[in-house]
Amino acid sequence: MKIFLDTGNLKEIEAMVPLGIVDGVTTNPSLMAKESGDPRAIIKSICDLVQGPVSAEVVATDWEGMVSEGRELASIDPHVVVKVPFTRDGVRATKVLAGEGTRVNVTLIFSAPQALIAAKVGAAYVSPFVGRLDDISVDGMGLVQQIVEIFEAFSFATEVLVASVRGPMHIVEAARMGADVCTCPVSVVEACFKHPLTDIGLAKFLKDWEKAQASRT
């Protein structure tokens, strides 16, 4: 399963890329609004750093505006994936952009029929928002399971990109379900590195090693 970072912050991405675990990045208007500087330049810098799919979202709400903005975003770098919200206009824009060879990530997916429709019009990715569903007592990962089953049944090439991830267990469940991608805030990736038994085990290894060295001198 691929791991994307869910951030528009260059420092966060710079710190994570050398670990070799970042396959791509997703942004959205809320994340980009937190960053200072020209959004176009930030997206370009992210593409240069990651050399993998980088989702940049349109803010137009009519299909013609989405297509025009999508073309502009796609011209920034070949790694850009145009992110479009799941609306009637978003579906129409996805059909046009995908027909031109632009990869589209259909976002704000909260039901299986939405994912099916997005796949039918050629979305490269669908983004089910698991955390936001969990927040309202709906099983977010249950939705991912449904989408994975539907896409497998009809051999859709559309990738299931698990979004709105809140913790490492979302990553585990996404991987077990066979989702293609999990996009994670940096805090969630950091949490995967923490395990008390790893810390205790390493401390013991080093202490035993030091003791053995001291007894030899």
Q: In the range 153-182, which residues lie near ligand E4P by CB under 6 A?
A: 163-164
Is 83 marked active-site? yes
26 contributes a contact to ligand E4P by CB under 6 A: yes
Determine if 127 is a binding residue for ligand E4P (CB under 6 A). Answer: yes
CA distance to 72, 160, 190, per residue, from 35 (Å): 20, 27, 21
Interface stretch with ligand E4P, choices 14-22, 85-93, 111-119, 129-137 (CB under 6 A):
129-137
Q: Tell the smallest beta-carbon distance from residue 134 to ligand E4P (Å).
A: 10
CA distance 208 to 86: 57
Residue identified by tokens 């038994």 is 197
- The catalytically annotated residue of 11, 83, 95, 211 is 83
Contact 36, 11 (CB under 8 A): no
- 108 with 129: CB under 8 angstroms? yes
Which stretches within 61-185 are classed as H helix?
Answer: 63-74, 88-99, 112-120, 130-135, 140-153, 168-177
Looking at 110-118, 125-133, 143-151, 196-204, which segment touches ligand E4P (CB under 6 A)? 125-133
Is residue 129 part of the contact set for ligand E4P (CB under 6 A)?
yes
Give the nearest distance from C-beta 127 to ligand E4P in angstroms: 5
| Interface residue list for ligand E4P (CB under 6 A) | 6, 26, 28, 107, 127, 129, 131-132, 163-164, 183
